[in-house]
Amino acid sequence: MLLPDVLTSRAAHTPDATAYVFLDEDGVETAALTYRELHARALSVAHELSRHCAPGDRALLVFPQCLDFIVAFFACLYAQVVAVPVNPPRRTHVPEATGAIVADCEPAVVLTLAGAPASLPGLPSIAVDAVPGHGFTPPPAERDGLAFLQYTSGSTSAPKGVMVSHGNLEANQEMIRAAFGHDAESTVVGWAPFFHDQGLIGNVLQPLYVGARSILMSPAAFIRRPLLWLSAISRYRAHTSGGPNFAFDACVARARRGGAGDLDLSCWKVAFNGAEPIRPETLHEFARTFAPSGFDERALYPCYGLAEATLIVTGSRKGRGQRYAHRPDGALVAGSGTALPGEDVRIADPHDGVGEIWVSGPHVTQGYWKRPAATAETFPVVHGRTYLRTGDLGMIDDGELYVLGRIKDVVIVRGRNHYPQDIEQTAQSAHPALRAGGSAAFGVPGEDGERLVVVQEIQRDHRHDADPVEITRAVRAAVLAEHGLTIGDLVLTAHGQLAKTSSGKIMRSAARTRYLAGGFEGNGR
């Protein structure tokens, strides 16, 4: 069933069931929506949209993390206006990526909140929280019709608008339901931003698809208080919750500083880990740290996906736990699950079993908005079947997919491939003053081939007392010992200088570009 029909059905059959609850930074419930309320409000906004837009026009969704975003999204589905979720403008400026998205998708209207600053001049806006009640009869959604544009995070290139159809959404929601073992009792807790595919498709749309309750928080609340996330899982007896690998690291670090508190995580059956490389050390430490709180390591649920496949590509089996294997170079890597029913996942042109991950199935999207050349390159048709070239390196062992990193990010020194995430982990672990998750390793042209550069952030608490000479010696020695590599240039810079995607991935190509332009605040050593 297509999502507009799912909401219409739930509003008719379980109108007073709570669909969404929103928590503030203290864990207090500040807003909630039943299916009846969501349906009625979405119809009212759809009526207003129909006065400003024709079907197929784009509407920019500019919201902080709040339930009004969900109203706006379903209003677009009802009105057959293409939703375009974006990172909301900051107080002083519009993020560069958001400006690029506006120029690319040419929206007809902005959906936002009453009193929001007019950061996008020249575009009419609708305040979703101030629209009066109206009736509206939605036209039937078509499976091949465009539902929304999910702009890529830009970790290796400029953001591109992925065209997600209603059929793509339906197919991926069913894949998630089956893979995660969801039903109407499977409460979900989430904090990922709604403009990111994991936040929207996983934490917002999947609970509605199965009729479960969704407990939502803001990313800022998680960043400030990581254990508030686990507290919500414990309090609401969540079946499913997860995030990128760094989220699990953050919880371990906070628990080590102040203890885990009074948590009962025995309810947690699917602790999904995706959106960035999954580190074996992270999984081990998280399971060990929270075992006294009832966490069962068999709940660890590795998965892999990307916007071009709507969301999920591979996933574990509920209750199976994590798998591991060794890369051809001997390094231990964590698995990302197995292919799901209805899709084909394969390794193209493998060398020693490693090659580009290709995916085919009904969840593979329609390509990139207004980019026919990029669409043809990324979505080739082979023997009448469309495949997605993910741009990720991987290997498959006993059916399990192991994702090894982005092809464009691999550093080649003297003919040997080196995975940047391995170098970054070694670098940031070499000295206590260095920030975890604040490292970028990449190659630049040198006299004798590619030269390794590492940009490493200093922890905020050590910005005044860190000894650059001592740190430099420690990092260089660690990388040489662990990888047999000599760092061509090590740049120590301030906390927050490295750009990241909305899911927390380091934007290595952006770091490389900035480095070559001499744009980092720090010392090259």
| Residue boundaries of the structural domains of the chain | 410-524
Using the structure block, give the residue that is written with the tokens 């799912």.
6
315-318: Cβ within 8 A, 24+ apart: 315/175, 315/176, 315/179, 315/180, 315/272, 315/340, 316/179, 317/179, 318/179, 318/180, 318/181, 318/269, 318/270
DSSP classification of residue 131: P
Q: Which pLDDT score, from 0 to 100, does residue 519 have? A: 81
Residue 129 near residue 187 (C-beta atoms within 8 A): no
Q: Which pLDDT score, from 0 to 100, does residue 142 have? A: 96
Residue ranges in the chain whose pLDDT is less than 50: none
459: exposed, middle or buried (C-beta count within 10 Å: 0-12, 13-18, 19+)?
middle
* Residue 407, token pair as written in the block: 């092809």
Using the structure block, give the residue that is written with the tokens 């996983």.
202
Of 79, 80, 81, 98, the closest CA to residue 89 belongs to 98
Residue 63 near residue 113 (C-beta atoms within 8 A): yes
Please tell me the CATH code under which domain 410-524 is placed. Answer: 3.30.300.30
Q: How many other β-carbons are positioned within 10 Å of the β-carbon of residue 29? A: 10
Using the structure block, give the residue that is written with the tokens 């007896």.
237
d(CA 198, CA 272): 11
Q: Tell me the residue type at 58.
A: R
* Residue 181, token pair as written in the block: 């073992």
Query: Phi/psi of residue 443, each to 5°?
Result: -105, 150
Q: Which pLDDT score, from 0 to 100, does residue 251 have? A: 96
Q: Which pLDDT score, from 0 to 100, does residue 277 have? A: 81
d(CA 427, CA 432): 11
- In order, the DSSP letters of 132-169 are PP----PPPP-TTSEEEEEE---SSSS--EEEEEHHHH
Residue 42 near residue 78 (C-beta atoms within 8 A): yes
Of 54, 59, 76, the closest CA to residue 7 belongs to 76
Q: Which pLDDT score, from 0 to 100, does residue 119 have? A: 60
Q: Helices 245-258 and 280-290 meet at what angle, rounded to 10?
A: 40
Q: Which pLDDT score, from 0 to 100, does residue 44 have? A: 98
Write the secondary structure of 243-285 as one string of H (helix), E (strand) and C (coil).
Answer: ECHHHHHHHHHHHHHHCCCCCCCCCCCEEEECCCCCCHHHHHH
d(CA 283, CA 269): 15
Residue 408 near residue 391 (C-beta atoms within 8 A): yes
Q: Which pLDDT score, from 0 to 100, does residue 99 have? A: 82
Secondary element (H or E) of residue 79: helix 67-79
Q: Which pLDDT score, from 0 to 100, does residue 523 have? A: 54
